[in-house]
Amino acid sequence: MRYSLLFFADQDSGDARQRYDLLFASCRLADERGFEAVWIPERHFHSFGGAFPNPALVAGAVATMTSRLRIRAGSVVAPLHDALTVAEDWSVVDNLSGGRVDLSFAAGWNANDFVLAPARYPDRYGAMFGLIEEVDRLWAGGEVCRDNGENVPVRVRVYPRPVQPSLRHWLTCTAAPERFTQAGERGLNVLTALLFQTPGELKANIDAYRAARARSGFPPGEGQVTLMLHAHLGGSVPEVHELVRPAFSRYLESSVSLWKNRWKELEALEGRGKDLLLGFAFRRYSQSAALFGTVESCQPLIADLAAAGVDEIACLVDFGLDSEQVLAGLAELARLL
């Protein structure tokens, strides 16, 4: 099992500097301790995750303070962008990092995000796959055609030239089996989570992904599945649960307005009903959907995920604990390596 870090700060953007400082300190530690990568999200127009509207900007800073850590977009919301700006921005990061960039692409799901590109919302999946193809062409030194300011079609390529001759891609998949199949058919890696799927459904989706890769002629044993999990490890399970429960419950509560179009029952929650649901959610996460405990107590879950076909766990660590607590938990997570 490989291990990486993933950030999706729950703080309002008014406290963004503190979120960035924690990310940078975590990346320096991860770079020293042998973690695989850091994933930086793209999130728009909502305080939940709102410190990261452009992952390439933060990635450029991370590139200058690390030497071996892979630097990944988790994810580029493809329909909101032109392939030219994606290739340009991440080529800069590839140069700053000496060739350590990887990208995961997402189609987007929140209609409000598409104020940036409203016409693309109905066919956002088609737009995403089209953008991936163009980014690949540009990354390899090819050209794309666009109309210039005089409405004349011109062919352009991007600069600076990236260090890596090609990109490693992930497709961000929530729970829909067809997304896993599409990733397999195109030879993409997968970035996924347990938010909208059970461990059993995850295994079925990974099996569908592997089968699609095989049908499409991709070599067996290739194709990486990365699973996002909230994570904090410490000296004992009760100690970690006592520490994590208040912060993680606030984190979940702050996300309700973001996810309620996916979980309709969240719309009516108030008072004790909400408290009961948050308590249930914490129990569910702590038992089967997060690394909350000790190195030893988390081994059965890690083994189950490996058996299901997960190759990498992206540890989401910035869910509301103090920076010192997060960094102490990272030192424990490093023992998994």
140 domain-assigned? yes
Per-residue pLDDT of the chain (337 residues; tens, 9 = 90+): 999 999 987 655 457 788 899 999 999 999 999 999 999 999 878 776 677 889 999 999 999 999 999 999 999 999 999 999 999 999 999 999 999 999 999 999 888 899 999 999 999 999 999 999 999 999 999 999 999 999 999 999 999 999 999 999 999 999 999 999 999 999 999 999 998 898 999 999 999 999 999 999 999 889 999 999 999 999 999 999 999 999 888 887 766 655 555 555 445 555 555 565 666 677 877 788 899 999 999 999 999 999 999 999 999 999 889 999 999 999 999 999 9
DSSP-assigned states of every residue in 108-124: ---GGGGGGSGGGSTTH
Strand 101-106 relative to strand 70-77: parallel, antiparallel, unpaired? parallel
Which residues lie across from 146 on neighbouring strands?
154
The answer to whether the CB of 41 falls within 8 A of the CB of 52 is yes
Kindly give, in sequence order, each residue whose CB lies less than 8 Å from that of residue 270, ignoring residues fewer than 6 positions away: none
Residue 82 CA from chain centroid, whole number: 20
pTM, two decimals, is 0.92
163 domain-assigned? yes
254 domain-assigned? no
pLDDT at 51: 79
Strand 290-293 relative to strand 225-233: parallel, antiparallel, unpaired? parallel
| DSSP structural state of residue 219 | P
242: burial class by Cβ within 10 Å (0-12, 13-18, 19+)?
exposed
Q: Position 95: which residue type?
A: N
pLDDT at 275: 62
Say how many Å lie between the first and final Cα of the chain, rounded: 8
285 domain-assigned? no
Question: What is the spatial distance between Cα 130 and Cα 243, in angstroms, rounded to a whole number?
Answer: 45
The pair of structure tokens assigned to 299 is: 């081994």
228 domain-assigned? yes
Reduced to 3 states, what is the DSSP secondary structure of residue 335? helix
Q: Which domain holds residue 126?
A: 2-235+293-336
The answer to whether the CB of 147 falls within 8 A of the CB of 153 is yes
42 domain-assigned? yes
CATH code for the domain in which residue 307 is found: 3.20.20.30
The pair of structure tokens assigned to 29 is: 């530690």
Kindly give, in sequence order, each residue whose CB lies less than 8 Å from that of residue 225, ignoring residues fewer than 6 positions away: 189, 190, 192, 206, 209, 309, 310, 311, 312
| DSSP structural state of residue 60 | H
> How many structural domains is the chain composed of?
1
Question: What is the spatial distance between Cα 100 and Cα 93, in angstroms, rounded to a whole number?
Answer: 8
- Angle (CA) 138 50 276, round 5°: 130
Reduced to 3 states, what is the DSSP secondary structure of residue 40? strand
139 domain-assigned? yes
108 domain-assigned? yes
Question: What is the spatial distance between Cα 303 and Cα 42, in angstroms, rounded to a whole number?
Answer: 30
